[in-house]
């Protein structure tokens, strides 16, 4: 691919993936504003986040596989059009129900991650792949930070609907450029989409993530929560059996069993638990009035600015990892990233009385996120055959999301389990939550140490010629 063309292609991929990542966190600080503007309850407003999470979890691996089969460019354009439609409907939504539906449509954009990694692997020169994966991972990681930082100023200066109008313009331009400049990959997987497996995958993901996201309102011991968890176990077992027998599985379980894949996914689950919980609870902590015995009474805009060190550190470390990966290896970067997350949460457990301490924690955790995101992508892409890139990277993103839901749910139990007479959490709830997140990130570092290497630092997996035929080599 000519260098100019690869730069344009990368810009398209980074813009699409960055916008989707930003949409994950952009609306969260504005939920109280949305609740008031659309005259709904707090519990109903949370579905703006839940619907997006569930939709992305379902569509990410399925459309990643579709891209492997029918072409990554055409799938990428279709996904971008879905994001565009979802943002347009959300910007015009007259009611909370329409907004929730729009968020479901936006969630289709989760497939931008595996499709983008697959296009880079298929189309870029070998010398450009490692750096491009790192840079794209940096954009994806930083996108969530941009959402947290930008939401307050946008809502204050304009209106919450501009949280969607701005992406409409950006994604529309991205679609036009993608149609003109992004090449269609010649690499196609064999087979077809196993719709039974896709349906079961969707069912167990929803049955697992829905109670995790709603248990705080429904009650952990409620029939709905326990019933959905039980259904998730049964559906997961059925999905495993179906995929194992299928000639054209949606997710090839042999690939998921490769040592470099399952260990990276284990690290993704644990690190995702810490990362998403920090994103969810640290802004609330700094917004708590000081009369609670902690917090700074910060506004939405001020709390976003306190997250700015995380945003900058995420982007810089993600870009830097592309330069470090050939020298130290993706395994070392993933271990270091998870360890930095544990260090940040441990620091926060002990020291959280001054704004500069929050800034230090945000910066440290941002460094960890940038390194971890890029190294996970390197390890997965370099350990699976080209025809499985979309599905495998899609599952890695999904597993990170599942970890995030678990981490956020566990932290919520600790933070909101006991409340002061004022209704605010006790400081001990937060400190116990930070300590838990430190342990989860430390466990992620331990899982990263299990990632196998061979001479030269290359990730390896077991034999099965049809699974491991011509994998890209990754440090």
**Cα separation, 445 vs 387, whole angstroms:** 29
CB atoms within 10 A of CB 295: 21
pLDDT at 367 over 90: yes
Write out the two tokens for 221: 């011991």
What tens digit of pLDDT does each residue of 218-264 get?
Answer: 888 899 999 999 999 999 999 999 988 887 777 778 888 889 999 99
What tens digit of pLDDT does each residue of 122-144 get?
Answer: 888 878 887 888 888 888 878 87
pLDDT at 463: 35
Domains of the chain by start residue, with CATH: 3-193+248-468 (1.20.1250.20), 194-247 (no CATH)
Q: What is the DSSP letter of 448?
A: H
Range with top average pLDDT, 152-166, 210-224, 444-458: 152-166
pLDDT at 1 over 70: no
pLDDT at 400 over 60: yes
What tens digit of pLDDT does each residue of 403-445 get?
Answer: 888 888 888 888 877 888 888 889 999 999 999 999 999 999 9
pLDDT at 42: 67
pLDDT at 81 over 90: yes
What tens digit of pLDDT does each residue of 177-206 get?
Answer: 998 888 877 767 666 777 888 889 889 888
**56-70, 318-332, 381-395, 397-411: least confident range:** 381-395
pLDDT at 59 over 50: yes
pLDDT band per the 50, 70, 90 thresholds, residue 35: confident
pLDDT at 263: 94
pLDDT at 142: 81
pLDDT at 189: 66
Q: What percent of the chain has pLDDT over 90?
A: 31
Count the residues in the chain.
Answer: 475
pLDDT at 461 over 50: no
- Exposure string of 368-395, with b = 16+ CB inside 10 Å and e = fewer, is bbbbbbbbbbbbbbbbbbbbbbbbbbbb
Write out the DSSP string of 126-191.
Answer: HHHHHHHHHHHHHHHHHHHHHHHHHHHHHHHHS-TTHHHHHHHHHHHHHHHHHHHHPPPPS---SS
Angle of helix 162-181 versus helix 126-157 axis, rounded to 10: 150
pLDDT at 115 over 70: yes
What is the chain's mean pLDDT, rounded? 84
pLDDT at 344: 96
pLDDT at 236: 93
pLDDT at 469: 42
Read off the pTM: 0.80
CB atoms within 10 A of CB 86: 26
């Amino acid at each position: 691919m000519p260098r100019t063309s690869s730069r344009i292609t990368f810009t398209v991929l980074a813009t699409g993936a960055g916008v989707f990542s930003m949409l994950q966190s952009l609306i969260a600080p504005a939920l109280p504003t949305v609740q008031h503007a659309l005259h709904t309850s707090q519990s109903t407003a949370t579905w703006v986040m839940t619907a997006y999470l569930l939709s992305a979890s379902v569509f990410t691996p399925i459309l990643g596989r579709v891209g492997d089969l029918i072409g990554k460019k055409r799938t990428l354009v279709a996904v971008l059009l879905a994001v565009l439609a979802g943002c347009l409907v959300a910007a015009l939504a007259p009611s909370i129900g329409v907004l929730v539906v729009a968020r479901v449509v936006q969630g289709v954009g989760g497939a931008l991650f595996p499709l983008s990694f697959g296009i880079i692997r298929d189309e870029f020169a070998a010398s450009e792949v490692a750096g491009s994966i790192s840079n794209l991972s940096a954009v994806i990681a930083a996108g969530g930070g941009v959402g947290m930082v930008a939401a307050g100023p946008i809502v204050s200066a304009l209106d919450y609907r501009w949280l969607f109008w701005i992406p409409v313009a950006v994604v529309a331009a991205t679609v036009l450029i993608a149609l003109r400049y992004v090449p269609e990959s010649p690499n196609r997987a064999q087979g077809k989409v196993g719709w039974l497996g896709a349906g079961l995958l969707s069912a167990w993901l929803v049955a697992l993530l829905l109670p995790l996201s709603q248990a705080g309102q429904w009650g952990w011991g409620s029939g709905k929560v326990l019933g959905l968890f039980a259904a998730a176990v049964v559906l997961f077992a059925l999905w495993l059996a179906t995929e194992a027998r299928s000639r054209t599985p949606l997710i090839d379980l042999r690939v998921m069993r490769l040592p470099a894949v399952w260990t990276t996914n284990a690290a993704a689950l644990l690190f995702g638990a810490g990362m998403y919980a920090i994103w969810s609870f640290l802004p609330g902590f700094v917004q708590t009035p000081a009369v609670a015995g902690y917090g700074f009474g910060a506004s939405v805009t001020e709390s976003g600015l306190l997250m700015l060190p995380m945003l900058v550190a995420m982007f810089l470390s993600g870009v830097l990892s592309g330069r470090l990966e050939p020298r130290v290896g993706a395994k070392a970067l993933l271990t270091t990233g998870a360890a930095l997350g544990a260090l940040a949460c441990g620091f926060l457990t002990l020291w959280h009385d001054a704004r500069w301490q929050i800034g230090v924690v945000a910066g440290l955790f941002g460094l960890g996120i940038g390194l971890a995101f890029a190294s996970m992508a390197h390890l997965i892409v370099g350990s699976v055959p080209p025809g499985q890139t979309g599905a495998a990277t899609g599952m890695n993103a999904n597993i990170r999301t599942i970890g995030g839901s678990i981490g956020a749910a566990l932290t919520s139990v600790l933070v909101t389990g006991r409340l002061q007479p004022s209704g605010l959490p006790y400081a001990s709830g937060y400190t116990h939550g930070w300590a838990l997140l430190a342990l989860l990130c430390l466990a992620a570092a331990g899982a990263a140490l299990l990632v196998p290497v061979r001479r030269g630092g290359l990730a390896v997996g077991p034999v099965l010629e049809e699974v491991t035929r011509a994998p890209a080599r990754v440090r």
